[in-house]
Chain A
Amino acid sequence: MAATLASPVPSTEHEVERCGTEEEIRGAEAEGEGSPPQTGPGPVSACSNNRLSKLPLARIKALMKTDPDVSLASQESVFVIAKATELFVEMIAKDAMVYAQQRKRKTLQRKDLDNAIEAIDEFAFLEGTLD
């Protein structure tokens, strides 16, 4: 491993190359698929640029590809969707929390989510989609 001596570049470098390329990557599960579900924040964000995106791009891309109409997605588009999803999670958590607080609860519960989805227009697309 002479590379660790010589180069100043952090080792996440080659991990990015593995998961973030332009064209379709059928087997791009290198990122997080093989590892146990709760590996913690470290390896999951290893593939992101300076922790820009918390969600693993390879997983987002795999999700996107389940859509039969989608052929190719640029690396940037995958990143933007990942980032947007992060913002979405923040938003829905905060909006649902309002309902918990109204009932003087400190624990966010499933029904708070349901309330938020019903009340807020932007979440209409979620109706009927959750278990």
Chain B
Amino acid sequence: MAERPEDLNLPNAVITRIIKEALPDGVNVSKEARRAISQAASVFVLYATSCANNFAMKAKRKTLNAGDVMAAMEEMEFERFLEPLKEALEVYKKGQKGKKEVSEQKRKDKEKKQDSENDRSREEEEEEEEERMEEEPEAEEDEAEN
């Protein structure tokens, strides 16, 4: 399924939310204006990507990186974005690092579990345990809903 630029739009609900949060209370946005802003945002992505890609190609790299995007912002005269982008990127990087560690930990736990499941006699017991454990949270959920 080839994606053409025309098919890909950014989610309306998100665009609307960003617009509303940027404008003062009590202000409305017409449907046409919203649609135009959404289209403009897609054009922005394409333009920024193309610009950033030029920097990557100049550096003989095949992979676009964050630095290329920053350079593109300057080129496009959106220097005002640079500071907030750098800050956001720092937070994002930290978050990614944390998630990587968590998923590695999960993987290790899974491997440990598989090792113990290889012991047949214990396998059946654990299955029963899991079923019991599964029942409990549901019971709790019911209570919470009530």
Using a CB–CB cutoff of 8 Å, the interface residues on chain A facing chain B are: 1-2, 4-5, 7, 9, 13, 16-17, 32, 37-41, 44-45, 49-50, 52-56, 59-60, 62-67, 69-77, 79-81, 83-94, 96-97, 100, 106-110, 112-113, 117, 121-123, 125-126, 129-131
Which A-B residue pairs are the 3 nearest by beta carbons? Answer: A49-B95, A90-B22, A110-B32
Q: Shortest distance in angstroms between B31's beta carbon and chain A's nearest beta carbon? A: 9
A40, A53, A80: the one within 8 Å of B13 (CB): A40
Of the candidates A17, A49, A52, the one having the most CB atoms from chain B within 10 angstroms of its own CB is A49
B65 touches A74 (CB 8 A): yes
The tally of CB-CB contacts under 8 A between chains A and B is 234
The distance in angstroms between the C-alpha atoms of A61 and B68, with both chains bound, is 15
When the two chains form the complex, which single residue of A38, A71, A125 contacts B47, counting CB atoms closer than 8 Å?
A125
Q: Flag if A89 contacts B45 (CB, 8 Å).
A: no
Interface majority SS (helix, strand, loop, mixed), chain A: helix
Q: Are B68 and A77 in contact (CB under 8 A)?
A: yes
Q: B36 to nearest A CB, angstroms?
A: 5
Contacts of B52 on A, CB cut-off 8 Å?
77, 81
Binding site for A on B (CB under 8 A): 3-5, 8, 10-15, 17-19, 21-23, 26-30, 32-33, 35-37, 39-50, 52-53, 57, 62-66, 68-70, 73, 76-78, 80-81, 84-85, 88-89, 91-93, 95-96, 99, 102-103, 106, 130, 133-134, 136-137
Check B19–A2 contact: CB distance below 8 A: no
Q: How far is the CA of A82 from the CA of B130 in the complex (A)?
A: 41
Quote the shortest CB–CB distance from A72 to chain B (angstroms): 4
Closest CB of chain A to B24's CB: distance in Å? 8
Given A74-B66, A90-B19, output 7 extra A-B contacts at Cβ < 8 Å.
A63-B3, A63-B10, A74-B63, A89-B18, A112-B33, A129-B43, A130-B43
Given known A-B contacts A2-B130, A66-B8, A94-B22, A107 and B45 have beta carbons under 8 A apart: no
